[in-house]
């Protein structure tokens, strides 16, 4: 078994349509930290889904639903911390406005389980 600390999602801006930002490819993944910063001058909503392999985003996969992030604020996403992704699972999300929210996530990938 190998445990590798890793940046799961390198800092990038969320789009305003649902997209996949991380896939647990042939590993089990532990989410240790997720941060979202609103770099715009207006409040923007954040939605995050943890989607099972071959599944699709939606209410049954949602861990953060249209949470309002105020202009200039950073949200630490405690809902994501401690979740485990099986091989093939994904982190998906979207912002209420394009080029407004910057996401970053770190964790551990475990192979050979």
Domain that holds residue 25: 2-111
Quickly tell me which residue has 């049954």 as its tokens. 60
Position 89 confidence tier, pLDDT thresholds 50, 70, 90:
very high
CATH number at residue 31: 2.60.120.340
Total of domains in the chain: 1
CA 66 to chain centre: 13
- d(CA 25, CA 32) in angstroms, rounded, equals 17
- d(CA 72, CA 32) in angstroms, rounded, equals 23
What local confidence, expressed as pLDDT, does residue 64 receive? 98
pLDDT for residue 113 is more than 80? no
- Taking residue 26's Cβ as centre, other Cβ atoms within 10 Å add up to 10
């Amino acid at each position: 078994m190998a445990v590798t600390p890793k940046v799961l999602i390198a800092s990038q801006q969320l789009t305003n349509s649902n997209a996949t930002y991380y896939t647990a490819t042939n590993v089990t993944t532990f989410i240790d930290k997720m941060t979202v910063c609103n770099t715009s001058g207006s409040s923007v909503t954040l939605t995050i889904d943890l989607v099972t392999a071959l599944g699709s985003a939606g209410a049954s996969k949602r861990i953060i639903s249209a949470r309002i992030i105020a202009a200039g604020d950073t949200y630490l996403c405690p809902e994501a911390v401690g979740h485990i992704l099986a091989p093939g699972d994904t982190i998906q999300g979207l912002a209420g406005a394009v080029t407004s929210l910057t996401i970053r996530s770190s964790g551990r990938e475990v192979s050979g389980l």
